[in-house]
Chains A and B, each alone.
Chain A
Amino acid sequence: MNAVLHRNNVTVRGNGSQTLIFAHGFGCSQYTWQEVASAFEKEYRVVLFDYVGAGQSDLTAYDSKKYSTLDGYAQDILDICEVLDLKDTVLIGHSVSCMIAVIAGIKKPEYFKSLVFVSPSPYFFTDASYDGGLNREDVDGLFTMMESNYLGWSSMMAPLIMGNPQRPELGDALAASFCSTDPKIAKEFAKVTFYSDNRSFLPLLKVKSLTLQCLDDMLAPPRIATYINEHTPGNTQVNLEATGHCPHLSAPVKTIAAIRDYLVNPEIYEDRDLLALKQ
């Protein structure tokens, strides 16, 4: 198996000339996309992967320095595109993956036809002209929670769970541990996720994009989707009737429908926006 495909535990499924890449958010693994991704397998080629440190990625490939910025993670997506010889893909990212997608899209626009942001935020904190919704105390509280909760992770279980995607007998362990991550890596990923300020990247993006926004999401409130829309060329925004930060889990049917509409007719939402303005 190719080193990159092994490193990121890349899964390729489905048929079709158009490829969709699903990028999971901070905390869990590609399994979070299972339900949504499988809905597209009939008509599209679907690529799923785990970031290094998450799911069943190769933990030995984890490099604190490389992954101390989102660039390291973006590079992994570009590596996957290169190895699979992908061009004009649609990259669908959740949470922190939206900004990883922006960075990847700026670096290699030819790899991407469009990007889909599910619950995006370019910056979680607040300054004079921007309200990211969180403060240091909130994020410190999250780090404390992560420190006192290892979610079934122990160094004894780790070698069993990680890096054994080819062993189906581990299926139950996998299902029960898809959110388990080495606490050290989880903490470093959390730091990159929360402390990165990616606002300056948005105007540089030349790939068009769609934002899927939930009604109440404490990590990505609706005003942030508006900010992204105003600062990102070619961005359209759709509000999903879903709550929380993970509409692909809490409202998969609506999420699938919104992505499908955009894939079939990328202008559909722009027209709708125009209609709304005219009314």
Chain B
Amino acid sequence: MRTETYSPLNSEYDFENAPCGYLVLCANGTILHLNQTMLRWLGYSREEIVNKKNLSDITPRGTSLYFQMFVYPSLKMQGYINEVSLDIIGFDNSTTSCLFNATAVRNEDGSIKHLNAILFGISDRKKYEEEILQEKKLAETMATSRELILQAQRRIMAILGHDTRAPLFSINRIIKLAIDGTIPPEDVFPHFELMANQLDATLILIDNLLNWANAHYDSDAGQQKPIPLRTVSNDVYQLLRSNAVSKKLFLNTQIDPSISVRSNQSIISFIVRNLVNNAIKFTSEGGVTVSAEHRGDLVNITISDTGMGMDADQVKKYTGGKLDSTAGTANEMGSGMGLMLIKEFLIQLKGELQVESEPGQGSSITVVLPDTLFEIS
């Protein structure tokens, strides 16, 4: 077997073809010298580069800014810089990702004579790092949105527990009293009406909750067939007609017929239904009007009533989501959850609520939504 001997005397290290780029720069970045490896990465001839090109000519402009703001000051102040991750752009616009290390060689007065730099190619590692960075960013966004969803869910669970317990407790009690004979059989039937009334609010609550959960499932379902906003409003009226009829209230619509709901239809319907339901609840004379208009890049849906209205303090609590549920003008019960879920949805849709109200003069609640959710014909 033949053996090779390595002798530094007759075999100098081949810096020209070293597995890294060597670069000598002026203090302002002009390239004074570079090795073959560097030239190969760049695809220029030596004559095209030396004394003709600046480091800023072979890096993106953002990198040049970075050098002006961080790298040159560091080289001047501390005499070296290590591990700057950057891209070198070649003649054919190919990029080579590198780690850049440099030391400053100084004149006697402390000014920089030139900079010795070395560049290691890290293209593969860079791709891997970028993947990690992307994953990290994705994980952070997901963690944030997951936390928001969790917070909403915790609030909803608390309301749900609180608001279903009371009616179930009293129904349970009536049943037990009937079983042990404390309530005589002939008096049981009148209690049914009481029990049914109590269950009404609970059923609305559960309905809302189901709607909310379903809306979460289908909100990403992509393009839906547009439904005229008027139809959405009329469907809501259909559903709530009996409540309005029993209080002798009118239900009026003033909606621009050119506005159709394109996406998140069930959510928008949910919002309108809950606001109309509230309006009916707090109105004893007159009625409720749903109007809508397209203005700028927004669609404003306004639910106004001729009801009892709110004072400034209540409006503040209403918009802040802190208004507790109170009984309606016909003693209708509520859970306060409708408004809370509306607020959750509006965050999701990037919309907001605007409230105008005067005690005794009625309220006017406007849902402001981006017009991207709509189709304007």
Binding site for B on A (CB under 8 A): 25-28, 31-32, 34-35, 134, 137-149, 151-152, 175-176, 178-179, 217-219, 243-246, 249-250
Binding site for A on B (CB under 8 A): 27-28, 56, 60-66, 68-70, 72-74, 76-78, 82-86, 110-112, 129, 133
* Residue in chain B with minimal CB distance to A25: B69
Instruction: Please tell me if the beta carbons of A28 and B66 are within 8 angstroms of each other in the complex.
Output: no
Q: A35-B110, A218-B56, A249-B77 are in contact. List 4 more A-B contacts (CB 8 A).
A: A134-B61, A141-B61, A142-B69, A249-B73
* Residue in chain A with minimal CB distance to B60: A141
Instruction: Please tell me if the beta carbons of B77 and A31 are within 8 angstroms of each other in the complex.
Output: yes
Q: How far is the CB of B181 from chain A (nearest CB, A)?
A: 67
CA distance A151 to B72 in the complex (A): 13
CA distance A134 to B111 in the complex (A): 29
Interface residues of chain B: helix, strand, loop or mixed (majority): helix
A sample of 25 inter-chain contacts (CB < 8 A) reads A28-B69, A28-B70, A31-B77, A32-B73, A138-B61, A139-B65, A141-B60, A141-B65, A144-B62, A145-B65, A146-B66, A147-B133, A149-B83, A149-B85, A152-B82, A175-B77, A178-B74, A178-B77, A178-B78, A179-B73, A179-B74, A218-B56, A218-B64, A244-B68, A250-B27
Residues of A within 8 A of B84 (CB): 149
* Residue in chain B with minimal CB distance to A215: B28
* Residue in chain B with minimal CB distance to A26: B69
Query: Chain A CB within 10 Å — which of B61, B70, B86 has the most?
Result: B70
Q: Which 8 A-B pairs have the closest CB atoms?
A: A141-B62, A145-B66, A27-B69, A138-B61, A245-B68, A142-B62, A142-B65, A249-B76
Query: Chain A CB within 10 Å — which of B27, B64, B66, B133 has the most?
Result: B66
* Residue in chain B with minimal CB distance to A193: B69
Q: How far is the CB of B131 from chain A (nearest CB, A)?
A: 13
Known: A149-B84, A244-B68. A27 touches B73 (CB 8 A): yes
Instruction: Please tell me if the beta carbons of B73 and A219 are within 8 angstroms of each other in the complex.
Output: no
Known: A178-B78, A244-B28. A138 touches B73 (CB 8 A): no
Known: A141-B60, A144-B62. A250 touches B69 (CB 8 A): no
Residues of A within 8 A of B73 (CB): 27-28, 32, 179, 246, 249
CA distance A229 to B14 in the complex (A): 54
* Residue in chain B with minimal CB distance to A151: B70
Residues of A within 8 A of B76 (CB): 246, 249-250
Residues of B within 8 A of A249 (CB): 72-73, 76-77
Instruction: Please tell me if the beta carbons of A148 and B129 are within 8 angstroms of each other in the complex.
Output: yes
Tell me the number of A-to-B contacts counted with CB atoms below 8 Å: 95
Instruction: Please tell me if the beta carbons of B70 and A179 are within 8 angstroms of each other in the complex.
Output: yes
Instruction: Please tell me if the beta carbons of A139 and B68 are within 8 angstroms of each other in the complex.
Output: no
Residues of A within 8 A of B62 (CB): 137-145
Residues of B within 8 A of A141 (CB): 60-63, 65
CA distance A243 to B27 in the complex (A): 9
Residues of B within 8 A of A134 (CB): 61, 65
Q: How far is the CB of B22 from chain A (nearest CB, A)?
A: 21
Known: A143-B62, A145-B62. A246 touches B68 (CB 8 A): yes
Residues of A within 8 A of B129 (CB): 148
CA distance A146 to B66 in the complex (A): 8
Instruction: Please tell me if the beta carbons of A27 and B70 are within 8 angstroms of each other in the complex.
Output: yes
CA distance A152 to B101 in the complex (A): 13
CA distance A245 to B29 in the complex (A): 13
* Residue in chain A with minimal CB distance to B109: A253
CA distance A34 to B85 in the complex (A): 28
Contact of A138 among B27, B65, B78 (CB under 8 A): B65
Instruction: Please tell me if the beta carbons of B78 and A176 are within 8 angstroms of each other in the complex.
Output: yes
Residues of A within 8 A of B60 (CB): 141
CA distance A35 to B110 in the complex (A): 10
Residues of B within 8 A of A34 (CB): 77
CA distance A142 to B69 in the complex (A): 10
* Residue in chain B with minimal CB distance to A175: B78
CA distance A143 to B70 in the complex (A): 12
CA distance A32 to B77 in the complex (A): 7
Instruction: Please tell me if the beta carbons of B28 and A250 are within 8 angstroms of each other in the complex.
Output: yes
Query: Chain B CB within 10 Å — which of A32, A143, A145 has the most?
Result: A145
* Residue in chain A with minimal CB distance to B75: A249
Contact of B68 among A144, A175, A179, A218 (CB under 8 A): A218
CA distance A140 to B78 in the complex (A): 27
Instruction: Please tell me if the beta carbons of B63 and A244 are within 8 angstroms of each other in the complex.
Output: no
Residues of A within 8 A of B85 (CB): 145, 148-149
Q: How far is the CB of A188 from chain B (nearest CB, A)?
A: 15
Residues of A within 8 A of B28 (CB): 243-244, 250
